Amino acid sequence: MEEQKVHFNIPPFHPKAFQYMEDAVARQKICGDGFYTGKCTEWMKAQAKAAGALLTTSCTHALEMAALLSGIGPGDEVIMPSYTFVSTADAFVLRGARAVFVDIRKDTMNLDEALIEDAITPRTKAIAVVHYAGISCEMDTICRIAKKHQLKIIEDAAQAVLCTYQGRSLGAIGDYGCYSFHETKNYSMGEGGAILLKNQKDILNAEIIREKGTNRSQFFRGEIDKYSWKEAGSSYLPSDLNAAYLWAQLEEAEAVNRRRISSWSLYYELLQELEAAGDIELPVVPKGCVHNGHMFYIKAKDLEERTALLQYLKEKGISAVFHYVPLHSSEAGQKYGRFHGQDRNTTRESNRLLRLPMYDGLKEEQIRYVASEVKNFYRQF
């Protein structure tokens, strides 16, 4: 076994987390919607300028809430990319809907906005966009299409906390936006997420769905004198202990964001000569998009070259990984979805993509080491 020199990810942690978790215990309210949940919620609402924000047990659950709030049911269709995490599809498939996969753009790995309209049928109810690597989809065009055909927009913004499109926060552009605070994301509570609500009128319903279908949230605020079962719902609210762990990071989110972007930029700068030589391709950030350094990926020539590069880096003690296997090629994807139009980019581009180590705390010399080993790999030929 070779020595591991550079990890792929180290879960986010801020030392103040223990102090805040102790405080949460002292406050004797460690269930959902306690003091620290409130802190995180206010932070999200303020930074994203959303009408509402609710902390959830995961981004997957936030997506499930978005599916419920959108009224998605059996036979409905939801347009989405095939190049995404399973939860984007699961949330709607659980409601009996069909996933309609549309090809991605080669430059951003995001849903190709030019192909959406052709996939719309009388059954289409929503478009689920994924802002891959925290780089925005072409939201002006997508919002125009949604408005014209009266479709809901759900943003899977799992990777996109603190990212913007034309100055607007990702997650707060569509009807519903879903964040992830999983340990692989920029800010974490172990397992967790949030749903952002664009419209004031969704807030009460979202609170009810998240509190087992009851209006307990209103009861706790003293707005009603007893709570009761109002709708079909579930339990999607995390413990305040987890929120306390997260709050320690959110308090210093801007600093984390700056460090990640500077790591991303250093990779970009160091690997530019390989792109110029035609060996690899680097990520593209379209005009008007501001990302958060969530991920740094490169593209090799093809699957065979990527496999060789991954193995080479592994031998050098560097943990690099590939990413999503397109959903339409999976067992469930074939059962619950269909690919509309031609797969020009989804399979080919996903086969070429390789993610380099990226986390807050990654050192400059580690980035230089990784970049130099990627260069050494291409010098062999």
Applying CB under 6 A, the residues found at the interface with ligand PLP are: 58-60, 84-85, 87-88, 130, 156, 158-159, 180, 182, 193
**Shortest distance, CB of residue 58 to ligand PLP, whole angstroms?**
3
Contact assessment for residue 205 and residue 69, using Cβ atoms and an 8 Å cutoff: yes
**Shortest distance, CB of residue 60 to ligand PLP, whole angstroms?**
3
What's CA 209's distance to the chain center, in Å?
Answer: 22
Nearer to ligand PLP, 170 or 244 (CB): 170
Pairing state between β 152-156 and 176-180: parallel
**Shortest distance, CB of residue 89 to ligand PLP, whole angstroms?**
10
Q: Encoding tokens for residue 129? A: 């966009």
**Shortest distance, CB of residue 233 to ligand PLP, whole angstroms?**
18
Nearer to ligand PLP, 133 or 298 (CB): 133
Element (H, E) at 377: helix 364-379
**Shortest distance, CB of residue 169 to ligand PLP, whole angstroms?**
17
Distance in angstroms (rounded) separating the CA atoms of residues 25 and 57: 19
SS3 77: strand
**Shortest distance, CB of residue 138 to ligand PLP, whole angstroms?**
17
Among residues 73, 70, 66, which one has the least CA distance to residue 96? 73
Nearer to ligand PLP, 131 or 216 (CB): 131
Nearer to ligand PLP, 9 or 218 (CB): 9
Q: Residue 375: exposed, middle, or buried by beta-carbon count in 10 A (0-12, 13-18, 19+)?
A: middle
Distance in angstroms (rounded) separating the CA atoms of residues 270 and 110: 25
SS3 287: coil
Nearer to ligand PLP, 264 or 377 (CB): 264
Nearer to ligand PLP, 24 or 128 (CB): 128
Among residues 18, 48, 49, 23, which one has the least CA distance to residue 34? 23
